[in-house]
Amino acid sequence: DTEVTQTPKHLVMGMTNKKSLKCEQHMGHRAMYWYKQKAKKPPELMFVYSYEKLSINESVPSRFSPECPNSSLLNLHLHALQPEDSALYLCASRPRLAERSDTQYFGPGTRLTVL
Amino acid sequence: AQTVTQSQPEMSVQEAETVTLSCTYDTSESDYYLFWYKQPPSRQMILVIRQEAYKQQNATENRFSVNFQKAAKSFSLKISDSQLGDAAMYFCAYRGIIQGAQKLVFGQGTRLTINP
């Protein structure tokens, strides 16, 4: 099973709100990723967690705060966002299984609108 | 630095026909992976096919196959018997090791339209 789930599917928030995006998988992961994708563009990497520890932060503004509470869950906490942060946020996971460990499997994404 | 180039922003094909999407990449690594992902209007990124660079045999998944030319650093995707459900944005991606972590480098994408 390579399924990755994300909630919510859609989120509308004001610039003063605090919200969180959630990503879950039950593959047992080697790494989990957050991407931001603007329309008609490829995904841009934001964060990488390897074995539940943050290994890469692609110079993402501090208004985005990732968290990996356990091996199945990845959160992205949002605070004081700007309208230009409106995008599709994708989560991906690389399973522990050796034959699949080089492949990232993506969740369906959260479409975020910041008003 | 690794780069991925998709030179065809848009392609179209008649239903049931065959279409080939192009991808070239640049790397100094000898061991790597290449992927094609499909992103339909629902926006979910779906793995189509993957290729290990150390394997000479081209990967195949049902109607999808690749032409992997390692020396030329080319990795094209062939879709046979195109179906309406194949309409999507297709991204070519290279798996690199950067800062000790595996990262995907994406091309800019090719939007594929299927004409009935």
Q: Which residues pair with A29 in a beta bridge?
A: A95
**How close does chain A come to B67, measured CA to CA in Å?**
19
pLDDT confidence bin for B98, thresholds 50/70/90:
confident
A94 at interface of B, judged by CB pairs closer than 8 A? yes
pLDDT value of position A2: 67
- Better-scored residue on pLDDT, A29 or B104: B104
Picking from B89, B101, B109, the nearest residue to A50 by CB comes out as B101
Q: Which site among A104, A105, A111, A112 would you substitute to test the B interface, given the most B Cβ atoms closer than 10 Å to its Cβ?
A: A104
With beta carbons under 8 A apart, name residues in chain B contacting A109: 43-45
Name residue A55's amino acid. Answer: S
CA A10/CA B16 separation, integer angstroms:
35
Per DSSP, the three-state class of B17 is coil
Q: Which residue in the set B46, B89, B102 is minimally distant from A94, CB to CB?
A: B102
CB contact at 8 A, A33 and A91: yes
Q: Taking the mean position of all CA atoms in its chain, how far away is CA A26? A: 16
What is each CA distance from B56 to A69, B70, B76, in whole angstroms? 41, 8, 14
A43/B106 CB distance under 8 A? yes
Task: DSSP letter for B28, please.
Answer: S
B96: confidence class by pLDDT, cuts 50, 70, 90: confident
Give bridge partners of residue A22 from the DSSP assignment: A7, A75
8 Å CB contact of A105 and B102 = no
Confidence of residue A1 (pLDDT cuts 50, 70, 90): low
DSSP string, chain A: ---EEEE-SEEEE-TT-EEEEEEEE-S-EEEEEEEEE-TTS--EEEEEEETTEEEEE-S--TTEEEEEEETTEEEEEEES--GGG-EEEEEEEEESSGGGTT--EE---EEEEE-
- Position A101 pLDDT exceeds 80: no
Beta carbons of A42 and B102 less than 8 Å apart: no
Query: Tens of pLDDT along B49-85?
Result: 999 999 889 999 999 999 999 999 999 999 999 999 9
